Amino acid sequence: MAIGERIRSIRNKRGMTLKYLGKAVGFDEKTADVRMAQYESGVRSPKADLTAKIAEVLEVVPEALNVPDIESYRGVMHTLFALEDNYGLQIDKLDDEVCIRLDRDNGSEFLTMLKLFKAWEKQAENYRSGKITKEKYDDWRYNYKP
């Protein structure tokens, strides 16, 4: 999902209008909605400082808006390949099902990623079991800081 689509998705979850978000990040009232629509549609790309302002208003970390290109299966696969190269994620089989797992032989990377994945799994389980709402789960993900 491109940055503009992430902005739109989170803005809509927060119940904000284009104009409200645009004004909140400092655009003139007359052009606030048009400017934000340009970013959401991908006509313009926000620079880092504007991305940080948008994230602040949306109450998420900037990284929640800047995600890799996963608009195509090719993009998804290359993102997974990069995760394999950089963090030791591996494709494998478990009980005849394809899965992605952490490489235990990857030393400190394994331990760090295991800790992060366990925190994620705990939140996901809390959501699946009804202990937290989808909104709380999304808030955790969109504000995630290791």
Q: Is the pLDDT of residue 72 over 90?
A: no
- HEC sequence for 76-106: HHHHHHHHHHHHCEEEEEECCEEEEEECHHH
* Tens of pLDDT, residues 9-40: 999 999 999 999 999 999 999 999 999 999 99
- Tally Cβ neighbours within 10 Å of residue 39: 22
Architecture field, domain 3-64: Orthogonal Bundle (1.10)
Residue ranges per domain, the chain?
A: 3-64, 71-103, 104-145
Nearest to 2 by CA among 10, 93, 20, 94: 10
CA atoms within 13 A on the CB side of 75: 8
Q: Tell me the C-alpha distance between 89 and 78, whole Å.
A: 13
Which range of 73-77, 78-82, 123-127 scores highest in mean pLDDT? It is 123-127
What backbone phi and psi angles, to 5 degrees, belong to 43? -65, -35
Q: Is the pLDDT of residue 90 over 80?
A: yes
Q: What is the pTM of this model?
A: 0.70
Joined tokens for residue 110: 């394994």
Q: Provide the β-strand partners of residue 90.
A: 101
The pLDDT assigned to 100 comes to 95
Nearest to 143 by CA among 123, 128, 125: 123
* Tens of pLDDT, residues 112-140: 999 999 999 999 999 999 999 999 999 99
Nearest to 58 by CA among 40, 38, 34: 40
Joined tokens for residue 96: 């005849």
